[in-house]
Structure 1
Amino acid sequence: MVSNGRTISKAVSGVEDGPGALLFDMDGLLLDTETVARDSFVEVADAFGLAGAERFFLELIGSSGAQTSARIGAALAPDADLSRFKADWSAGFEARIAAEVPVKPGVRDVLEALSARGYPMVVVTSTDGQKARRQLGRAGLWPHFRDLVGGNDVTAHKPDPAPYYLGAERAGVAATSCFAFEDSDKGVTAAVAAGCRVWQVPDLRPEGQDLPELGQHVAADLGTAMEAAGLL
């Protein structure tokens, strides 16, 4: 049972045999980068005249680069330069994290404790793999992980289970033996479909949007999720 008393229907309770591996989303779960991406997106969207920019961004969370590009392209004016939009968004994001890649509160301590217990851990993110490794490295988190699945490593993206199947494969175990930790609904959908036991730690969400009832646990932060999973 999670400390906030919330467990969505069909969720498993407790840990019997322990996980074969731990699979983690990155943005919004380990790194506090969704807020950075949002601020940069809104700045560029306003310059391009894209209405409702903040809510539009929130609906993109968990999407792959290709999915995001398609959504933005469809929303922009016909004569707008999608490549310029993406370049300006990326430049704004990189400028904001130039001094430091922000890490979610408590994440460093959680990962150090899990590493000390010997759990194999893999990152499963929609972000390009090279970019994700670079950000995790700059944040000092990369040494905790055995491997990483990036958005460029699969042809089907979250909410498809393919990224989680590959993450489990890279950990050397079956997906059904893995515990997965996600912030986005798309990520939860993917992990549940792959057969993982899933804990959702919500980050940025559109106001009034309920969490999907997929069988996941819900926790306020990653440390609470680990305690609920019996890992710490």
Structure 2
Amino acid sequence: MPAAYLFDMDGLLLDTERLAMTSFVDCLTPIGIAAEAAKTFFLTLVGTSVSQTDRMLAAFLGDAGQAEFIAQQWNAHFDQRLQQNVPVKATVRATLAELTAAGAQMAVVTSTKGARARHHLHQAGLLGHFKFVLGGDEVSANKPDPAPYREAAARLGFDPKRCAAFEDSDRGIMAAMAAGCHAVQIPDLRPVDQALPQLGQLLAEDLARAVALVQNRSPAIMA
């Protein structure tokens, strides 16, 4: 069994990427950017930190001031959609409950800012499962750098090689694999013609299957 379980958040635990994309499109269409163009660009942002997103958006719009305004609007639209309900991905609630009951050591490793991530997980009723949430503003470098996973494993007191990591995005799975974790990718939103990175990661359709994969793997990750 893995010594610890490390989870991404958006698109992995929370079914929020589609809401984020809809909010993004709503903010860009009034300034003359077609919905399909906005969606295509949004997919390039999946898995990025806030600072990375800001830089990419400024380059896309060609105007840093406008990008800052759009980012503010985007956050406001997104937060409004989450006020009534923070959607959770299939099998997540039951899987986390089972792991908690078994005494598993768990943490969230997300590119979202820490305070914001903890708020969303609290709204979704999931925060209590985790020892801590490590946000994109709380690490020495952002995904795809391995630092977030290395730092989360160290905080739990384990070598990353003894940890299982779960990611939806390519940037995230690159970070987890580079850190040495036994990683499973559960693809969420991605361009239909974009192949998955060939990093030796496991693949699964949902979190329940992903956890079963790592639990049945080699004794090399036994606690």
Structure 2: how far apart are the matches of 1:106 and 1:53? 30
Give the number of the structure with larger relative contact order, counting CA–CA contacts within 8 Å between residues 6 or more apart: 1
RMSD (Å) for aligned C-alpha atoms: 1.3
- Show the counterpart of 1:116: 101
The CA deviation at 1:31 is 0.3
Q: How many residues align?
A: 214
Map 1:67-216; keep pairs closer than 5 Å: 67-78=52-63, 81-216=66-201
Q: Which structure dedicates a bigger proportion of its chain to helix?
A: 2
The CA deviation at 1:79 is 7.6
- Give yes or no for contact 2:24–2:38 (8 Å, CA) kept in 1: yes
- Show the counterpart of 2:23: 40
Gaps of 5+ in 1: 1-17
Q: What secondary structure is seen at the aligned counterpart in 2 of 1:169?
A: helix
Structure 2: how far apart are the matches of 1:216 and 1:109? 24
Given the alignment, which residue of 8, 20, 29 partners 2:3?
A: 20
The CA deviation at 1:148 is 1.3
Structure 1: how far apart are the matches of 2:50 and 2:171? 14
Structure 1: how far apart are the matches of 2:64 and 2:121? 37
- Give yes or no for contact 1:63–1:126 (8 Å, CA) kept in 2: yes
- Give yes or no for contact 2:112–2:135 (8 Å, CA) kept in 1: yes
The CA deviation at 1:80 is 5.4
1:62 corresponds to 2:26? no
- Give yes or no for contact 1:147–1:170 (8 Å, CA) kept in 2: no
Deviations 1:93-119 (A, max 9, x none): 011111011111111000000111111
Q: What secondary structure is seen at the aligned counterpart in 2 of 1:180?
A: strand
- Given the two structures, how large is their TM-score scaled by the length of structure 1? 0.89
Q: What secondary structure is seen at the aligned counterpart in 1 of 2:68?
A: helix
